[in-house]
Amino acid sequence: MKKIGIIILLSIIIVQGFSQNISAEEKTASRGDSSSMTKVVVGDDKLAITDNGKEFNLRLGNRGITILESLEGGLPKFEWNKYDNSAPLPCDNDNDGNSSKKGRNHFKGHWSGIDIGFNNYLTDNYSNSLPAGIEYMTLNSGKAINFNLNFAQLSIGLTRHIGFVTGLGFNWNNYRFDGNNNIMKNSSGSIVEYDPGEALKKSKLATCYLHLPFLLELQIPTDHKRINVSAGPIGAVKLGSHTKLVYEDNSKEKSDGDFNLNMLRYGFTARIGYENFAIYGTYYKTPLFENGKGPGGVDLFPYEIGISFTIN
């Protein structure tokens, strides 16, 4: 429940970031039963919530969920929906034909898709060199892999070529250690080196976050294609973490735990691409580990860099 509350809080923060684009109205539907209907729209129908008392609908871009009231008094019925971008809002028969909305609706950002790259971390002076005493945190940079699955997107057009982009995605980080070691909590709760006592084929710390960006994107037309540039803040909430060791005989050892990792983190991300291909980079201002509980008390700041394939 705590994680769900944090996710909702992050969503509210993003909505507040573009609150000038929010329009909300409550009206009586033009239907025979004259039922009351509430309608909340964010970003020209890109995020829409409608409720007529019998049917609740939440739409984000071209995806949505409908919750229908059970006539038998049992559990409600859930329906997952996919919409055409030009389709009207569910539960709404109004069509004002606003031409300015149609113009802004041509803007489609670049977020949904997959990212593949490398991750590592820097010290507080932006150095890759680790201080003495925590050399065991050194990573095999060629095998420390980052993977993102960005599954939801909301585009809010200011013009046809400029707009805000937000959404949700899963963020996986594999911190592959270079030495014959891993990490663990000691009796005082601090992160220290874990020596397995025998040779390892590989060892890593793996994390999973739900991340949420708020980007300003500029699209530059070139013939019939577009160069897109976007940047902005990004926040994330930790969903899970574990360590894994693979021994020379291929036996494996996995340990779940929080490892003093920060539950929430924020940073900045930027992308530059051509059509649906891009290069991305993200740097987190929140340290990987909780203050004073990381290896040697040193703050390590995660970063990611890689390539992105988007679907819009």
**What is residue 59's predicted lDDT score, i.e. its pLDDT?**
76
What is the structure's pLDDT at 14? 46
CA distance 216 to 34: 41
Among candidate residues 270, 263, 289, 280, the one with its CA nearest the CA of residue 205:
289
156 pLDDT above the threshold of 50: yes
Does the pLDDT of residue 255 top 60, yes or no? Answer: yes
Closest by alpha carbon to 201, among 219, 223, 179?
179
Q: How far apart are CA 165 and CA 61, in angstroms?
A: 11
Strands 47-51 and 301-310: unpaired
Least confident window among 100-104, 108-112, 183-187? 100-104
pLDDT of res. 146:
98
Q: Residues near 222 by Cβ (< 8 Å), separated by ≥ 6?
A: none
Mean model confidence pLDDT for the chain: 83
Residue 66 confidence (pLDDT): 81
pLDDT computed for residue 51 by the predictor: 76
Comparing 295 with 96, which gets the higher pLDDT? Answer: 295
Whether residue 238 contacts residue 2, with contact meaning beta carbons closer than 8 Å, is answered with no
Residue that is written with structure tokens 């984000």 in the block? 60
Q: 197: how many CB neighbours lie within 10 A of its CB?
A: 6
What is the DSSP secondary-structure string of 33-79?
Answer: T--EEEEEEETTTTEEEEE-SSEEEEEETTEEEEEEPPTTSSSPEEE
> What is the rounded average pLDDT of the residues 291-305?
95
Half-sphere exposure of 281 (CA within 13 A, CB side): 4
Q: Are 196 and 223 in contact (CB under 8 A)?
A: no
Quickly state the pLDDT bin for 235 (edges 50, 70, 90): very high
**Statement: residue 242 has pLDDT above 80:** yes
Residue 12 is predicted with a pLDDT of 47
pLDDT at 67: 77
Region 295-304: what's the mean pLDDT?
Answer: 96
Which tops the pLDDT comparison, 17 or 256?
A: 256
- Classify residue 155 by burial, with Cβ atoms within 10 Å: 0-12, 13-18, 19+: buried
- Read off the DSSP letter of residue 276: T
**What's the pLDDT band for 46 if we cut at 50, 70, 90?**
low
Higher-scoring residue by pLDDT: 30, 312: 312
More confident residue, 200 or 95: 200
220-241 mean pLDDT: 94
Instruction: Indicate if the pLDDT at residue 45 is higher than 80.
Output: no
| Gap between the Cα atoms of 279 and 272, Å rounded | 6
Contact 237, 267 (CB under 8 A): no
Per-residue pLDDT for 27 more than 50?
Answer: no
What is residue 33's predicted lDDT score, i.e. its pLDDT?
45
57-95 pLDDT, tens digit per residue, is 777 766 777 877 665 555 567 677 777 655 555 555 445
CB 65 within 8 A of CB 81: yes
Which strands sit side by side in the sheet containing 77-82, from one edge to the other?
22-28, 36-42, 47-51, 55-60, 63-68, 77-82
Nearest to residue 93, comparing CAs of 127, 52, 58?
52
